[in-house]
Amino acid sequence: MFTILVVDDNESIRKLMVTYLKRDGYHTLSAADGVEALRIMDREHVDLMIADVMMPVMDGFTLTGDLRSANQDLPILMITAKERIEDKKKGFSVGVDDYMVKPVDFDEMLLRVAALLRRAKINAEKKMAIGDVTLDYDSLTVTTGSEEIVLPQKEFYLLFKLLSYPKKIFTRRDLMNEIWGYDSESDERTVDVHIKRLREKLEPISEFSIITVRGLGYKAERHL
């Protein structure tokens, strides 16, 4: 069971978030400010943090910056009342992974939490072996025998995502949200372009394939 830390000085909002998260099967911890959150994380394992920006004692940006400086790489979903692009830039610059603007849609919050946790799982695994083929997340390479193929970042992430869940069908929107982010201005045809390029580059590899599921999206199959 994943543990999620909710950090917000508004008790009502904090309790609502916790209620929705528990209902979706998560174990939760809560804190009213950044300092309390750091104390909790000193003694508890946390898989993901949801934090408000504006809080007393220590705000969300400072909390995120402190965690990243300490090499804590857990996913962080920031909740803010500010929609200005300058505020989002500041958040991403200190290490925020995703943003939601108040008032929070709690069903959307659950979707974003699930997406961040899946992405974190992929990041943690780093390498994947399928028969004689190895995918290396750090170097963005696909190696088979003596040949090494270096892929552009988005192409590699897309391939790694599909192969992490063989036979699972992902819609184009699923893949856009996972790889490009919820706020990307690219349209879903971007996924088609990247899939086409992957197929061309990996055509000699027989250990796996990317399948188009008509009317739905894509899935990967391993042939071993």
Residue from 117, 97, 106 nearest 17 by CA: 106
Q: Which has more pLDDT, 20 or 122?
A: 20
- For position 183, what pLDDT does the model report? 63
Give the pLDDT mean for 140-157.
Answer: 92
- For position 105, what pLDDT does the model report? 92
- For position 188, what pLDDT does the model report? 79
Question: What percentage of the chain reaches a pLDDT higher than 90?
Answer: 51
- For position 137, what pLDDT does the model report? 85
Per-residue pLDDT of 110-138, as tens digits, reads: 999 998 887 787 667 678 889 899 999 88
**In the block, which residue shows the tokens 């705000």?**
59
What does R_g of the chain's alpha carbons equal in angstroms?
19
Per-residue pLDDT of 101-112, as tens digits, reads: 888 899 999 999
Q: Which residues of 3-35 are buried (b: 16+ CB within 10 A; e: fewer)?
A: bbbbbbbeeebbebbbebbeeeebebbbbbbbb
The torsion angles phi and psi of 134, rounded to 5 degrees, stand at -125, 130
Q: Is the pLDDT of residue 84 over 80?
A: no
Angle at which helix 106-125 crosses helix 153-164, to 10 degrees, equals 100
- For position 127, what pLDDT does the model report? 81
213: part of which helix (H) or strand (E)?
strand 208-213
Q: Which has more pLDDT, 73 or 24?
A: 24
Q: Is the pLDDT of residue 45 over 80?
A: yes
Strand partners, 130: 133
- One-letter identity of residue 17: M
At 215 the three-state DSSP class reads coil
CATH topology of domain 126-222: Arc Repressor Mutant, subunit A (1.10.10)
For the chain, domain boundaries: 3-122, 126-222
Side-chain-facing half-sphere of 14: CA atoms under 13 Å: 18
Q: Is the pLDDT of residue 30 over 70?
A: yes
State which of 4-8, 79-83, 86-90, 160-164 shows the largest mean pLDDT: 4-8
| Mean pLDDT (the chain, rounded) | 89
Give the pLDDT mean for 34-44.
Answer: 92
The torsion angles phi and psi of 59, rounded to 5 degrees, stand at -80, 175
Residue from 224, 108, 210 nearest 163 by CA: 210
Q: From CA 194, how far away is CA 207, in angstroms rounded?
A: 19
- For position 122, what pLDDT does the model report? 65
Q: Which has more pLDDT, 120 or 153?
A: 153
Q: Which CATH architecture has domain 3-122?
A: 3-Layer(aba) Sandwich (3.40)
Residue from 201, 196, 197 nearest 212 by CA: 196
Q: From CA 133, how far away is CA 111, in angstroms rounded?
A: 32
